[in-house]
Structures are given as structure tokens and as C-alpha cells.
Amino acid sequence: MRVTALRLPEVLLIEPRVVSDRRGFFLETYSRQRYAEAGVGAEFVQDNLSRSVRGTLRGLHLQQPHGQGKLVSVVDGEVFDVAVDVRVGSPTFGQWVGQRLTGEDHLQLFLPAGFAHGFCTTSETALFHYKCTDYYDPEAELGVAWDDPDLAIAWPLPDPITSEKDRALPRLGDVPSDRLPRYEARGPGGLP
């Protein structure tokens, strides 16, 4: 397994070892011990799976309090996945990083709590899997507009399909700072 810190160094790109032959392939999608040794020592408590059609954009979502670190991957199809640093006081506050993930390349992203997350489906359909470090809490839901001009995210599709709820999300600059997570200096993978 290879782990690479991205432009936002706490967001990690993970390339699991894949064993392929004429029958297909096998890969270990998660091992607590192996991931901890690689710098992802988060404890996951909930797994989620979504299916989306081409052009669907989900996000940008987070929880505060009860922030969720996420280990995300695509089981089938392709997405453009985005993490935005929304931690007040962070040297990379308001910056984003994007990564293409596919069911063919088996890449994963780990983003620690404190990052807003979203993705856009670029294949006909996509099965998107994510492990979370905290349980879903509807009272802690928070989000940022996917098309916030101050973030200037280079989404691959100009007119995505979004939910009514996501269309109503505020710009990052309009979210009260006391509602956002606080920055705590951490290393790659969000570890102290």
C-alpha cells in the first residue's frame, strides 16, 4: 500500500495493493493495523454506500460538532472527489483538493474531520463507499455551497444534478465562524 499526502497535507491518497490475474482481482480495502502503520490511525464506526447517476454532485458536507473523518473510495464507476479545509485558523483554510477515483484504479482518499467533502459522478453511475470516524448526527449537519466562487472548485461538469438541500447551502464566508471546526496542528492523515 502506498500513501501520499496531497496539496492539503492532511488529506491522504491511498493506493492499496491489488493482486490481479485472469480471474479478476483481490484487494484489502481496510485493515486497522496496516492503515495505522501507514499514518491513518482513525477508528471508523460507520460505513455508507451511495449510488449516483452521471452528473450528480453531492456536497459539500461535514458535521460540527461530531466531525467525521472519512475514508472514501469508488466501488464501481468514477467520481471527482473534493475535500475543502474549513477549519478556522488553518493555514490552508478555504483551500480545496480534488482527486479522480474509480472502481478500476481502487484509489482511496482519507480526509480527517474538519474538511467539507463532496463528489461529482462522471461515469454513467457510481457506487461510492465511505467509512466514517463518527456516527451521522442530523443536528450536527453543516455544509458549504458546492459552487462558492471564493472556493473556485474546478468541478468537471458545468451543470450538475444537486439536491434542493445542497442548492441551499451557504458560501463558506457566510457560515458563522463559531459554527465551523477549529484548527489543531496535526500531521499527515490528521494525526497529532
Domains of the chain (ranges, CATH numbers): 2-164 (2.60.120.10)
- Catalytic-residue membership of 35: no
Catalytic residue check, 130: yes
191: pLDDT confidence band, cut at 50, 70 and 90?
low
Tens digit of pLDDT for each residue in 20-37?
999 999 999 999 999 999
Percentage of the chain surpassing pLDDT 90? 93
Residues with Cβ within 8 Å of 95's Cβ and at least 6 positions away in sequence, in order, are: 7, 8, 84, 85
Catalytic residue from among 35, 106, 117, 130: 130
Among the options 30, 35, 61, 106, which is catalytic? 61
C-alpha cell at 28: 484489502
What would the pLDDT profile of 108-122 be if each residue is shown by its tens digit? 999 999 999 999 999
